[in-house]
Chain A
Amino acid sequence: MADHPSETVKYSDPYVSGIALGLVLLAAFLFAGRGLGASGAFAATATGTVAVVAPDYAAANPYFGRYLARPGGPWREWLLIEIIGVVIGGFLSAALAGRLRRVVERGSGVSSTSRLLIAFAGGAVMGVGAVLARGCTSGQALTGGALLSVGSWTFMLAAFAAGYAVAPALRWAWR
């Protein structure tokens, strides 16, 4: 089902794109010695921002201080550069498939404002969870999952458990 009238290429088969994604992850392991990630980019950005506003505080804060101490500093964080790539790649794919659209994805009975607020809230909650868990679906579930880390699998199962538990309360948002 085409989502958009301008769409020229439909979504890929999920298994095919999954395999492709797995190969990207494998390439990261082979060429960079590490896996993918996303929430780390946000941590680096937050660190960099705090460091600009209050450099002494940032250095003293145990969380931000660690990102500051990394070689190159927060603005050269591997994941930050990677996430810029994600943005570019996402844009390219959407552009080539005719899926570029200024829109707020939401249920028909929900206003844009509500959706935006809920999205923001969801992002904030995810941010907290990602800090505690030291990663998100990319860094923990995909990367740690492929490497069979117990903590990563625990994170993944817990995240999906919570998702399934919370989602029914949000049906109204997607009707």
Chain B
Amino acid sequence: MRSFCIAAVLLAAATVPASAQVENPSSREGLLVSPAWLAQHLHDPNLVVLQVGAMGNQTAYDTGHIPGARAADYGTLHTLPNNDAELAARHDALESLGISDSSHVVVYTADDYWPPATRTLLMLNYAGLQQVQLLDGGLKGWTESGGTLSKEAPLPRKGTLASLKTQPGLIADADFVKAHRGASGFAIVDARSRVFYDGVREGGTKDHRVKGHIPGALNAPFDELTASGSRLKSAADIRTVFDKAGVKPGDTIIGYCHVGEQATGMLFAARMLGHRVILYNGSFADWVQHDLPLELPNESAQVHNSSSRDQLLVTPALLAQHLHDPNLLVLQVGTQETYDKGHIPGARFLDWMDFHNMDQKPGELTLEMPSAQALHDAFEKAGVSDNSAVVVYASDEYWSPSTRIMLTFDYAGLQNVRYLDGGLKGWTEAGNPLSKEAPLPKKGTLSPLKLRPIIVDASFVQAHERAAGFAIVDARNTQFYDGTAGGGQRGQTKKFGHIPGALNAPFDQFASDDGHLKSYDEIKAIFDKAGVKAGDTVVGYCHVGQQATAMLFAARTLGHDVLLYDGSFEDWNNRNLPLENPKDKK
């Protein structure tokens, strides 16, 4: 009937925008499949889909899995079969998962920690199975592409596998690594986070904790290879990570990490670029157990260290991709007026005043951190819940209120918080639309806060004035630091100079004119010039404790631990503590 044809055509047209961003189904370099591809091939007779995970996989599987997928016991699958008996057991385990010689296996994880999937994939490759692929983005990528979940496990099915032909060329031991240090055409790559490679945090085994990395190794942290969750970055972006690490195209990569799991993620990405890969299965734990020599960063040619920065910042493009994540909470820091004029769609207005102790009597300090209970209630009012993924952004170039909020989140022990680089201006410059409508008010549900001890007082500062490993940094403009202008609240205290031993890194230097945070290298140069050493814990202060947070945020992106002397110059002078005034020396 004509009416139905018209109805159908109109309905199809109406649903066009909803499908405006569907990925083309693809199989990248034969190793990666997209959710769209999997959706299309889900009922292929040879397809075997495995959900793996390090812990709690069965529970996650029972809660909801890709329809037709099987729960694979990671404990059984992730170890390297060392002898014939273990190999035979592996063979039977694979058959019981329904895997046959003609099977096409797709592996995924239920949560964002994806290395178990790549480890499983590599072990299957080692066992001689070639047709194994990773689902890009895991379960989250599946549901985000509109895929539905199932709670029903498929009936058990036994596959038919010929005896396994192992691929020993994929695995290496410590001797192999030693023998290939500096060998041309090979690159030893540490896949751990930068803090381990740089020796900021210790690695190794439970009984033997050491700092540093395998001598001659480069660093390509596995978590820099995914764009969000467990979705892999584009080939170009992955190439950039390896280039920055110092890996040359064509190198065979010998990868390691703590115990051999995260390295498989890095090696997977390397394979997508066409590198030949070898896994040092024992990894750093094995290296340390053999008491082999180590190397620390200033001994190697390490160029860049941005994993802290990557964890703290988010770009407008990435935010736009995730704008409709169920747990996302976007908060605008600014005035109600600017919020009403236009904000990121779905963003909530964060009332700055709720996060400061405003019950001040004259003579009391300005802008102090409120009590844990007041903070907890303020966060809940803003919509923050335990599982919220928060993005904070500034509505204009005056960005220190928003870094103060970032520090407040950190103080409250809420870690899943990122800062939108470029703020509202960066958002609109990237071509994204704004909204004038506020979402309906919704209180968050937050467990009691576990405060982190990052707020310090004057006695702490005094005790650490020239302590090793600490840098007291004055974030005020240079004129206040060097005694030209008087500092303190409303200039009332009119005291000149800075806290003895403090260095100077004015906060407004850390953002460029277009409102974006400066690059890692630029920020490092500023701190180097100020006299801050790598690994120092930065203790920041300013007039009343707000501008310092901008400087401290920049320090965090470099990987420094930070502390805020909240009372700042105002408090120091209230206590009549001595100052250092460069002008006096003239």
A residues lining the B interface (CB < 8 Å):
62, 66, 150, 153-154, 157-158, 160-165, 167-168
CB neighbours of A158 from chain B (8 A): 10-11, 14
CB neighbours of B13 from chain A (8 A): 157
| Alpha-carbon distance between A48 and B48 when the two chains are bound, in angstroms | 59
| Alpha-carbon distance between A161 and B1 when the two chains are bound, in angstroms | 14
B7 touches A (CB below 8 Å):
yes
| Alpha-carbon distance between A154 and B11 when the two chains are bound, in angstroms | 9
Q: Which residue of A lies closest to B5 (CB)?
A: A164
Shortest CB-to-CB span from A104 to chain B, Å, is: 25
Shortest CB-to-CB span from B520 to chain A, Å, is: 38
Q: Do B1 and A168 touch across chains, with their CB atoms under 8 A apart?
A: yes
B24 touches A (CB below 8 Å):
no
CB neighbours of A154 from chain B (8 A): 14-15, 17-18
Q: Which residue of A lies closest to B4 (CB)?
A: A165
CB neighbours of B18 from chain A (8 A): 154
Interchain residue pairs with CB less than 8 A apart (9): A62-B440, A150-B17, A157-B10, A160-B6, A161-B6, A164-B10, A165-B7, A168-B1, A168-B3
Q: Mark B419-461, 1 if CB is under 8 A from A, else 0.
A: 0000000000000000000001100000000000000000000
Shortest CB-to-CB span from A56 to chain B, Å, is: 17
B8 touches A (CB below 8 Å):
yes
Chain B residues 266-314 with CB under 8 Å of chain A are none
Q: Do A161 and B440 touch across chains, with their CB atoms under 8 A apart?
A: no
Chain B residues 5-64 with CB under 8 Å of chain A are 6-11, 13-15, 17-18
Q: Which residue of B lies closest to A171 (CB)?
A: B3
Shortest CB-to-CB span from A166 to chain B, Å, is: 8
Q: Which residue of A lies closest to B9 (CB)?
A: A161
| Alpha-carbon distance between A153 and B10 when the two chains are bound, in angstroms | 11
| Alpha-carbon distance between A73 and B440 when the two chains are bound, in angstroms | 18
Contacting residue for A167 out of B3, B14, B440, CB 8 A? B3
CB neighbours of B3 from chain A (8 A): 164-165, 167-168
CB neighbours of B8 from chain A (8 A): 161
Q: Which residue of B lies closest to A134 (CB)?
A: B437
Shortest CB-to-CB span from A45 to chain B, Å, is: 21
* A150-B17, A153-B14, A158-B14 known, 11 other contacts, Cβ within 8 Å: A66-B440, A157-B10, A161-B7, A161-B8, A161-B9, A161-B11, A162-B11, A164-B3, A164-B4, A165-B3, A165-B7
CB neighbours of A167 from chain B (8 A): 3
Q: Do A162 and B7 touch across chains, with their CB atoms under 8 A apart?
A: yes
Q: Which 4 pairs show the lowest CB-CB distances between chains A and B? A: A157-B14, A161-B10, A164-B7, A161-B11
| Alpha-carbon distance between A163 and B212 when the two chains are bound, in angstroms | 69
| Alpha-carbon distance between A167 and B6 when the two chains are bound, in angstroms | 12
Shortest CB-to-CB span from A62 to chain B, Å, is: 5
| Alpha-carbon distance between A167 and B441 when the two chains are bound, in angstroms | 39
| Alpha-carbon distance between A49 and B440 when the two chains are bound, in angstroms | 22
CB neighbours of B7 from chain A (8 A): 160-165
| Alpha-carbon distance between A8 and B230 when the two chains are bound, in angstroms | 72
| Alpha-carbon distance between A113 and B425 when the two chains are bound, in angstroms | 59
Shortest CB-to-CB span from A18 to chain B, Å, is: 20
| Alpha-carbon distance between A2 and B6 when the two chains are bound, in angstroms | 29
CB neighbours of A168 from chain B (8 A): 1, 3-4
Known: A62-B440, A168-B1. A161 touches B17 (CB 8 A): no
Q: Which residue of B lies closest to A168 (CB)?
A: B3
Q: Which residue of A lies closest to B1 (CB)?
A: A168
